[in-house]
């Protein structure tokens, strides 16, 4: 214990022990169950705005396909892990904590892992896409209803646990035609992870699929609510295999976007269906079930809000997080208004910048290990690739880039997947919070540390949608501790 305590970064305000740091127990019996609940807004009742692509007051005109919360619960009789994936762009920590309280998954021995599949044509749940910049697009009545539905479904699924077995496989696929990288260097995570949950006689309960690409086949011109390609993927898997499909977004930062011929529903269906088919094909090679085990660890860490745009729109950050000082002590609610005013008058000094809590986590589910990152991690942080190993036919750096990354300064390994102690490695982004992009430090370029405008030439959009430079190091350090 002493050694661990000395290594801990002072920024950690709580450690996995708080949530019942629990290793897998290999002789326990395995139980699982799954289900889904429709969370599509009723457009005649709720005033929602579509999230994604900059604030432009996109009001939906209809629903193309439904949004779901998909849930799978694993238990060894002592420890229970529930995974809930919602068809939204993101969810903040406060929403995750609400769901834990509502389901009593904030108790020892129980852990609720909440993920947003990162759809860009689903309601604004983060307060960033209202009618005009700075005005939230969140319909709080709708959000309350969603949380009630999701909490009820988690409890219902948890009541239906039955004996289960687990198989996992990671298939390395050619991403061409599925996903491409539009920020240099070209690094595309080609790993399609699949965790199958079946009854002892082989009836499918759930299929968990991990793939790294933004759910944005449909672009800013779309006005219909859709779950984009993850919805099509899950429909394909549920139709062909049965049970509930649970999509976990992977390393989607830096910037993984669908490789499409046109931004339409046909292409969303094509990509979803192809990935679903590849997942089921991979499963055929997954081998026999392995020992059922359930483990989880998490760390709560503090990160500073360094992005000037976030500092100026602090009230919407407060909606998702409590503001704190650098020691983790909560700031008075009025600081959400006084700090932006001060920042506009004269830049906030380093010691005046507010901090927020976020969470990094690890699940061990039989043959699969899952690393939960609270934002959009770049694939190169997950697996390297600075020598072009994962460029999938793209140029490593685009000749047209006026300010390409200096790859001689790129970090050497080991990278996150190198540190994961299992064969089936699932890095999951947008897990338990959304901090925006987690940009590698060597290529984090902003004018005069002001993460607003003018944006640097070249590929530097992601910096403007990150919480700041320091968050990447803090989150990665925490992930490395959890993987030790
Ligand atoms: Zn994104």
Dist. CA 437 → ligand 1 center (Å)? 7
Beta bridge partners of 466: 436
Query: How many angstroms separate the alpha carbon of residue 156 from the centre of ligand 1?
Result: 31
Specify the pLDDT at position 426: 98
Residue 9 has pLDDT above 50, yes or no: no
Domain-by-domain residue ranges, the chain? 2-297+357-483
Question: Separation of 436 CA from ligand 1 center, angstroms?
Answer: 7
Least Cα distance to 442 among 412, 405, 399 occurs for 405
User: How many Å lie between the centroid of ligand 1 and the Cα of residue 52?
Assistant: 8
Q: What is the pLDDT of residue 359?
A: 98
Establish how many alpha carbons lie within 13 A of residue 90's alpha carbon, considering only the half-sphere containing its beta carbon. Answer: 24
**What is d(CA 180, CA 188) in angstroms, rounded to the nearest whole number?**
7
CA atoms within 13 A on the CB side of 98: 18
DSSP class per residue in 228-297:
HHHHHHHHHHHHHH-SEEEEEE---TTTEEE--SSSSHHHHHHHHHHHHHHHHHHHHTS-S-B---EEEE
> What is the whole-number distance in angstroms between the Cα of residue 429 and the centre of ligand 1?
10
Cis peptide before 185 (omega within 30 of 0): yes
Q: How far is the CA of 101 from the centre of ligand 1 (A)?
A: 27
CA of 337 to the centre of ligand 1 (A): 27
Does residue 227 contact residue 119 with C-beta atoms inside 8 Å?
A: yes
Residue 127 to residue 199: CA distance in whole angstroms:
41
C-alpha 472 to ligand 1 mean position (Å)? 15
Q: Which of 124, 122, 125 is nearest to 91 (CA)?
A: 125
Tokens 């790294």 belong to 212
Report the candidate in 48, 41, 49, 39 with the shortest Cα–Cα distance to residue 70. 39
DSSP string, 315-353: HHHHHHS--B-TTSPBPPTTHHHHHHHHHHHS---GGG-
Separation of 431 CA from ligand 1 center, angstroms? 13
Average pLDDT over residues 174-179: 98
- Looking at the DSSP bridge assignments, the partners of residue 438 are 377
Q: Which region among 105-119, 310-324, 367-381 has the lowest average model confidence (pLDDT)?
A: 310-324
Chain mean position to CA 203:
29
Residue 453, pLDDT score: 61
Residue-level pLDDT at 331: 96
- When pLDDT is cut at 50, 70 and 90, the band that residue 75 belongs to is very high
The mean of the pLDDT values for the chain is: 91
- Asked if residues 477 and 299 have their Cβ atoms less than 8 Å apart, the reply is no
- The per-residue pLDDT for range 263-281, each reduced to its tens digit, is 999 999 999 999 999 999 9
Say if residues 82 and 105 touch (Cβ distance below 8 Å). Answer: yes
Comparing 295 with 13, which gets the higher pLDDT? 295
Tokens for 32?
Answer: 């699982």
pLDDT at 435 over 70: yes
Q: How far is the CA of 453 from the centre of ligand 1 (A)?
A: 19
| pLDDT at residue number 266 | 98
Q: How far is the CA of 118 from the centre of ligand 1 (A)?
A: 7
> Ligand 1 centre and the CA of 115: distance in Å?
13
d(CA 89, CA 105) in angstroms, rounded, equals: 23
């Amino acid at each position: 214990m002493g050694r661990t305590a000395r290594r801990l970064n002072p920024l950690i305000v709580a450690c996995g022990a708080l949530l019942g740091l629990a290793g897998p127990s290999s002789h326990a019996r395995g139980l699982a169950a799954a289900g889904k609940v429709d969370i599509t807004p009723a457009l005649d009742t709720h005033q929602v705005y579509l999230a994604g692509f900059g604030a432009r007051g996109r009001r939906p005109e209809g629903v193309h396909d439904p949004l779901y919360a998909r849930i799978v619960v694993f238990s060894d009789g002592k420890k229970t892990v529930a995974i809930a994936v919602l068809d939204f762009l993101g969810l903040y920590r406060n929403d995750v904590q609400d769901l834990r309280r509502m389901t009593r998954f904030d108790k020892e021995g129980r852990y609720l892992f909440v993920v947003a599949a990162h759809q860009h044509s689903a309601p604004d749940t983060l307060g960033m896409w209202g009618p005009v910049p700075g005005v939230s697009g969140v319909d709080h009545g709708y959000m309350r209803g969603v949380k009630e539905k999701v909490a009820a479904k988690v409890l219902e699924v948890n009541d239906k646990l039955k004996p289960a077995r687990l198989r996992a496989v990671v298939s390395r696929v050619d991403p061409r035609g599925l996903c491409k990288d539009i920020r240099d260097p070209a690094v595309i995570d080609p790993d399609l992870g699949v965790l199958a949950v079946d009854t002892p006689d082989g009836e499918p309960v759930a299929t968990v699929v991990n793939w790294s690409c933004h759910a944005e086949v449909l672009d800013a011109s779309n006005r219909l609510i859709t779950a984009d390609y993850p919805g099509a993927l899950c429909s394909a898997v549920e139709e062909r295999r049965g049970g509930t499909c649970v999509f976990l977004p992977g390393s989607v930062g830096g910037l993984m976007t669908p490789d499409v011929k046109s931004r339409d529903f046909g292409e969303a269906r094509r990509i979803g269906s192809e990935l679903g088919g590849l997942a089921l094909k991979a499963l055929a090679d997954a081998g026999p079930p392995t020992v059922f085990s359930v483990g989880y660890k998490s760390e709560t860490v503090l990160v500073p809000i360094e992005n000037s745009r976030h500092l100026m729109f602090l009230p919407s950050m407060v909606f998702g997080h409590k503001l704190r000082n650098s020691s983790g002590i909560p700031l008075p609610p009025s600081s959400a208004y006084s700090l932006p005013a001060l920042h506009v008058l004269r830049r906030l000094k380093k010691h005046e910048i507010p901090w927020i809590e976020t969470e990094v986590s690890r699940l061990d589910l039989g043959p699969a290990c899952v690393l939960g990152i609270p934002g959009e991690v770049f694939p190169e942080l997950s697996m390297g690739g600075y020598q072009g190993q994962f460029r999938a036919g793209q140029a490593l750096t685009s000749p047209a880039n006026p300010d390409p990354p200096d790859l001689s300064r790129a970090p050497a390994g080991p990278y996150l997947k190198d540190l994961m102690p299992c064969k089936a490695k699932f890095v999951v982004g947008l897990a338990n919070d959304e901090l925006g992009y987690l940009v590698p430090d060597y290529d984090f370029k902003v004018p005069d540390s002001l993460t607003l405008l003018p944006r640097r030439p070249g590929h530097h959009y992601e910096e403007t949608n990150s919480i700041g430079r320091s968050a990447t190091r803090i989150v990665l350090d925490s992930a490395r501790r959890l993987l030790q």
